Amino acid sequence: MIIDPEGYCSAATSIPSPNCDDRPPGMAVELIVIHNISLPPGIFGGPEIIELFTNRLDAQAHPYFAGIASLRVSAHFLIRRDGALLQFVPCSKRAWHAGESNWQGRTRCNDFSIGIELEGCDSSVFEDAQYATLATLARAICVRYPIVASTGHADIAPGRKTDPGPHFDWVRYHSALKKQ
């Protein structure tokens, strides 16, 4: 797996999201932010995450969607439960995944981060295939960009966000990053 100079992953299925823009000039990509998402909440495998990130989510399809269908959000990547990798925004662009955020005193984390969504929720464990894809992807990102850390959405938006949640195994993730 490689990330090419334009920021596309060789192993990902590309589904372009309009919810992105240019990073500030000269801004280095230094942070990986790990999230979780399921739509409807706690339900896996449907098209709704793709529909949300491409502004096609039907507000009437589920009661929960009425409150989120108008959001303009995205992430660079989504890792499905089976480990399948989707890419919505090239890494060279700013995806709209972090919102109001702060990492080590730096605000606007979207400016300098790559957002990776894991299909999941705070109440479920993640699958082995997801950890395998995540580690391989993170290593490829680290080869292309001067990444200094990986963090959770909860860590850059405390009190506002909880993901990737209590079931995300940080020790497992960091150990897998070291393996080749």
Query: Which residues are known to be catalytic?
Result: 117
Q: How far is CA 84 from the centre of its chain?
A: 13
Q: How many CB atoms lie within 10 A of CB 90?
A: 18
Alpha-carbon gap, residue 113 to 29, rounded angstroms: 5
The DSSP secondary structure of 129-140, one letter per residue, reads HHHHHHHHHHHH
Beta bridge partners of 36: 118
User: Where do we find the tokens 């000269």?
Assistant: 26
Bridge partners of 22, per DSSP, are 93
**Tokens encoding 12:** 């990902």
- State the Cα angle at 87 between 166 and 140, rounded to 5°: 75
